[in-house]
Chain A
Amino acid sequence: MLSRTADNLYWLSRYVERAEYLARILDATQRLSALPLAYVGTSNEWESAVATAGCAHAFFKLYDEANEANVTDFLAFSTANSSSIRSCFELARGNARAVRTALTMEMWDAINGTWLELQRYGNGPTSREEFSRFLRWVQESSLRFDGSAYRTMLRNDAYWFSRLGVYVERADNTARILDVKYHLLLPENERVGGPLDYFQWAAILRSVSALTAYHWVYRESLKPWLVADLLILRDEMPRSLSSCYEAIVRNLNSIAGAYGRQGTTQRQARGIRTRLQNSRMDGIFQRGLHEFIGEFIVENNRLGASITEQFLT
């Protein structure tokens, strides 16, 4: 297939996935900031949200301080932020339009419908209730698009590239949450605990749709190192780094099989996957959680660059 088509499909999925992730962060932040001050302490949740979204640099070029109004606007509706929910949907729809014939009718309807609906939100909702509805709508739109792709696409390279986009983006998103909140997840002997941390951990899990999953997997109350274990090493957790890389390797293998050729990307992805499989939580903590995640983000970006170089240009 044309490199441009594959590139559009790959980024289309990435943008939709990113929009959903931003909605999840905003949702979790809204919950945290609604707690009484005694539970939350003095930390600025909105600043943390900007950092988790990975756009603190761009944000503080425009604003001196982070508060609910400007962070909500910046992450959800701003056209100045090329990674806002609005920008993500605009870019996704632009990509979809450019490769209209490579999409199934259902995928096109999903993304085009989302884009049309987005126009109705104008410069943003006026109340918190409406904003909550907006965030739910963003997540539903992403689910609808993802479901359409999963259910209707032919299982060929177009599908595999679109899946790669989902998982590379998802791995990056999960790693970013961990990167910003890593200090909350340090082992037992560090002084953590108390209501503030509890709600923060819950917020982390909620932002990756894993709160219920946590209870099913561990059957005990929230423990920070178990949160880290769930989001990094657990294959059965669909947003964990490990699970993302299982999917990335699988899709790259499908591409290699169809093209009859392995390349740098396949080797690179297998390398990351193997490292995750061979890691254990205590080892990660010994070397430093922050360092581990930092390295992962770099590796994941490098894989993204290799995919672009090997297939998309």
Chain B
Amino acid sequence: MNDQSRARERMEAITRRAFVIQVGAAAAVLGAGAPVLAQTGAPPVAGTEKLIVRSPRPLNLEAPLAELTGEITPYELFYVRNNYDGPEIDPAQYVLKVDGEVDNPLTLRLDDLRRMEQVTQTVTLECAGNGRGFHSPKASGIQWEHGAVGNAVWKGVRLADVLRMARPRPAARHVVPNGNDAPPTPQAPDFIRSHPLWKAMEPHTMIALEMNGKPVPHLHGGPARLLVPGWIGSASIKWVTQITLADREWNGPFMQRSYRSPRAEDPKETYSLQSLECKSVIVRPLDGGQVAAGAVTVFGFAWAGEGTVVAVDVSTDGGRSWMPAKLTGEEHRYGWRRWEHPWEARSGRHTIMARASDSLGRLQPAGRPRDPQGYRWNVIHAVRVDVA
């Protein structure tokens, strides 16, 4: 058998195995109940039935915006974004290595991390591609709408405390975290993204061990995930098992090809995405819904990455006039802010819009220039409502 034949045999075997996997998945769905298959065609994961399945493998789940009514997003409604899936880690076997440009390389178990000073903070995570489905022309990737965002209470250790224990050398300028995800082929690049040391040392950046009062679930990167508040979700590497300090940014495709947008001053050049945009979404009333005439509370959430939301303006006449909404929710440095606005609804069809502005002087825009990979969607959210 020559090399070409052997390669073909191998591909054939892989293809056969993939079909077995697919059929196995279908069988699992049938065992768990037909409605899920009818809705999504995907194997369900316990407790996530309310989420929209964008892809079962790798698992990508989106929250229906209509369900995101609470200030804290529960596990059942928290979006899941995986570039690659990863195997579950036995907490007793979990090990985090800290190495590279450090004088004191570390090997830490979960108990070691638990014994360190714990911090708790409310942080909004949003996928860089949230809203990709609204871009025109279509950008490749998961076609998220509004729901690849969630706000949770995270508890764990400051990354800075871990890094100080490792004693970074002067050459250390970047932190390169790696997670325990599993690319499907040996040639597929590992999912690695790096951060400048200043952000890693910022006191909000943490290794999270708990989410909403429970150990971080596997779907959200447990038993330990990085949390880089205010930055695009992919910065917060899941299942983090290694943190390497380096003198330069990581040179892999998830830094140099993905998670980049055109520069405003020269769209031919791209830059690596860091902070989330300034953005608000309307949770009520529902787009395309009906409400009774009379007093209606328009509400939603706003967030701004490295900025702080300073105002949300609401229009109930399709953008002709704007009124400041009341910021009613708790204020957190990196958490979203609930807002609401009383509206006296009269019969007819209305377009309601919300527009956030932030401490960095950013205002939610009416449109977005082309972004080939479909990032940064923060166009003013508009919903159409019929008032009976």
Are A and B associated in one complex? no
* B interface residue numbers (CB < 8 A to A): none
Interface residues, chain A, with chain B CB atoms under 8 Å away: none
